[in-house]
Amino acid sequence: MNNEFLSAVILLTLVTDPFGNVPIVNAMMAGVPESRRRLVILRECGIAFGLLLVFLFAGQSFLSLMHLSQTSLSIAGGVILFMISIRMVFGKAAGSAGGKEGAEPFIVPLAIPLIAGPSALATVMLMATKDPARIGMWAAAVSVTMAICTVILVAGASLHRLLGDAAMEALERLMGLILTAIAVEMLLGGIREFVKGLSA
């Protein structure tokens, strides 16, 4: 159980990509007064946390409503994670998240999609549907992950100055490489279940 909890925290930290978001958030906050930056980041992380919990607890009902299977979610989640990981490995433009330069972000694009993006939402839904008996553990994993993201983003400016552009980029690419392997495993797992269903 402890290993699964730790694995869930690591996976969610990778898909929310706090280190990769630091330069984008710093650029986005350039026009926001220093006294408000921490409050804005805390607010946006809180919104993202709430959305992730909604998808965690209501994900199974949503899948039933849309007549979607766990296999299809696993394959779709693997594809999305793979695309996100490729962007992490090969880099992404600082302005790719959208939003007006100098404006204070509200929900978009910081909470959604930078933190609670499609990959993170698909991941928490997959956790909930794969093992609903451990929903409490998944909720705790989401809580720990969001605490990590919040600390990193709040300390983003200091972290960026301390490590520098090259180290931040290298760290994000390393996280992207790990996430690529997880995405491929998720995709293969969905394909295996699909093939089993055909032969049954």
- Domain layout of the chain by residue ranges: 2-10+37-195
Query: Of 128, 93, 105, whose CA–CA distance to 45 is shortest?
Result: 105
How many whole angstroms separate alpha carbon 17 and alpha carbon 15? 5
Distance from C-alpha of 61 to C-alpha of 22, rounded to nearest angstrom: 34
**Cis amide linkage into residue 113, ω under 30° from 0:** yes
Q: What is the pTM of this model?
A: 0.80
The rounded distance, in Å, linking the Cα atoms of 141 and 126 is 14
Q: Indicate the burial class of 196 (C-beta count within 10 angstroms; 0-12, 13-18, 19 or more).
A: exposed
Could you list the pLDDT tens digit for every one of the 200 residues in the chain? 588 999 999 999 999 989 888 888 888 887 888 789 999 999 999 999 999 999 999 987 887 888 888 788 788 878 887 887 888 788 765 444 545 555 688 888 889 888 998 889 989 998 988 888 999 999 999 999 999 999 999 998 888 888 888 887 888 888 888 888 888 888 888 898 888 888 76
